[in-house]
């Protein structure tokens, strides 16, 4: 049997000093208003624990019946447009691979905080909290590793975490394949060839992000970062389209996000002519997102799905 006391000590030892930094922000901004629906930005979709996301069977994309294939594609496009989030089943990623990835993820995050922050594992990509936060509502109760796909296979990125590399390589390849299938469906819906993303979404532009949301004693006043093509655990409570997950008071949470991104020089524009908006590059988009996060603590993003 596992010793609950030992597990608690390990959890505290591995967690970053989130409560201390949150306390400092709260001291400077003592009033933490509870957000009302009317206070949320226009277009925000808030999903409660009891809310059921659209569930899509991706096996229908390979159906021998054209009607089933078209119905599945339509469901994907409708969920992306109306919800910005959807769950998928029969996606082709084996349960064993997902379990192995979760096991290695938990092992990595259970490493003592000081070691995670200094050992340089996963391309020295360890991050926690929100360094730019100026008030409690901008603070992300989370820690993460954010690694480019081009670095996933490099042995030097793993150090002593050698068992993580094999699983990461296999998992990132599976997520990349799945993300491109779904992106192709969305591209087809907009009148583009389904393979349009193959040339502009290269490995050095795409990322895999491992997230952990420690149990939060000040929940539910605080949120954590939540992102893109996502593998989640049973405790996850998504809150779209702001990339946030409500922190849990007693239970830690884990998720894995895959970011399918175009090259920084790729132009983003309207599919309709005349365009309602000016064209801009993905580099400009990324810069604006970073500025928005610094200013508001919010990140508005593209449709995402959950395994």
End-to-end CA distance of the chain: 30
For 30-72, the DSSP string reads ---PPPPGGGSPTT-----TTPPPPEEEGGGGG-SSHHHHHHH
At residue 29 the predicted structure's pLDDT band, cuts being 50, 70 and 90, is low
Least confident range of 206-220, 251-265, 293-307:
293-307
What pLDDT score does 137 carry?
Answer: 74
Least confident range of 48-57, 83-92, 139-148:
48-57
For residues 19-23, give the mean pLDDT.
78
> How far does Cα 40 stand from its chain's mean position?
21
What pLDDT score does 116 carry?
Answer: 92
Selection from 144-158, 197-211, 233-247 with the highest mean pLDDT: 144-158
What pLDDT score does 135 carry?
Answer: 75
Cα–Cα distance measured from residue 65 to residue 219, given in angstroms and rounded to the nearest whole number: 48
Cα–Cα distances (Å) from 25 to 67, 130, 144, 224, 247, in that order, read: 55, 11, 21, 16, 17
pLDDT tens per residue across span 94-137: 999 999 999 999 999 999 999 999 999 999 999 988 777 777 77
> How far does Cα 279 stand from its chain's mean position?
26
Burial class (CB in 10 A: 0-12, 13-18, 19+), 144: buried
Cα–Cα distances (Å) from 83 to 40, 54, 74, 272, in that order, read: 16, 8, 14, 22
Question: Comparing 242 with 20, which gets the higher pLDDT?
Answer: 20
What pLDDT score does 226 carry?
Answer: 46
What pLDDT score does 302 carry?
Answer: 56
pLDDT tens per residue across span 53-88: 889 999 999 999 999 999 999 999 999 988 888 899
Least confident range of 10-14, 200-204, 206-210:
10-14
What pLDDT score does 236 carry?
Answer: 42
Cα–Cα distance measured from residue 112 to residue 116, given in angstroms and rounded to the nearest whole number: 6
Is the pLDDT confidence value at 268 over 70? Answer: yes
Q: Give bridge partners of residue 145 from the DSSP assignment.
A: 126, 210
What pLDDT score does 214 carry?
Answer: 86
Cβ atoms 279, 267 nearer than 8 A: yes
Cα–Cα distance measured from residue 45 to residue 48, given in angstroms and rounded to the nearest whole number: 10
**Percent of the chain with pLDDT strictly greater than 70:** 74
Judge if pTM exceeds 0.75: yes
């Amino acid at each position: 049997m596992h010793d609950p006391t030992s597990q608690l000590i390990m959890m505290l030892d591995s967690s970053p000093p989130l409560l201390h930094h949150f306390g400092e922000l709260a001291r400077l901004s003592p009033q933490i208003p509870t957000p009302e629906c009317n206070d949320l930005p226009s277009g925000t979709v808030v999903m409660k624990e009891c809310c059921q996301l659209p569930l899509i069977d991706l096996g229908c994309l390979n159906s021998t019946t054209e009607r089933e294939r078209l119905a599945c594609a339509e469901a994907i496009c409708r969920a992306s447009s109306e919800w910005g989030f959807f769950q998928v089943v029969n996606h082709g990623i084996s349960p064993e691979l997902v379990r192995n990835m979760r096991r290695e993820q938990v092992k990595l995050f259970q490493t003592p905080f000081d070691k995670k922050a200094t050992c340089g594992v996963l391309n020295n990509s360890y991050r926690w909290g929100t360094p730019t936060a100026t008030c409690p509502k901008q603070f992300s109760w989370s820690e993460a590793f954010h690694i480019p796909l081009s670095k996933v296979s490099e042995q030097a990125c793993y150090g002593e975490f050698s068992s993580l590399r094999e699983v990461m390589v296999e998992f990132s390849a599976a997520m990349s394949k799945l993300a491109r299938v779904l992106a192709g469906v969305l591209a087809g819906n907009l009148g583009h060839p389904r393979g349009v993303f193959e040339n502009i979404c290269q490995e050095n532009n795409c990322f895999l992000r491992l997230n952990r949301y420690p149990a939060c004693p000040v929940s539910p006043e605080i949120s954590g970062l939540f992102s893109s093509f996502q593998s989640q655990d049973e405790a996850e409570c998504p809150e779209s389209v702001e990339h946030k997950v409500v922190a849990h008071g007693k239970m830690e949470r884990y998720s894995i996000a895959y970011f399918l991104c175009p090259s920084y020089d790729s132009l983003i524009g309207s599919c309709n002519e005349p365009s309602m908006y000016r064209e801009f590059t993905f580099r400009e988009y990324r810069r604006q997102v970073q500025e928005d996060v610094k200013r508001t603590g919010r990140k508005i993003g593209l449709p995402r799905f959950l395994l």
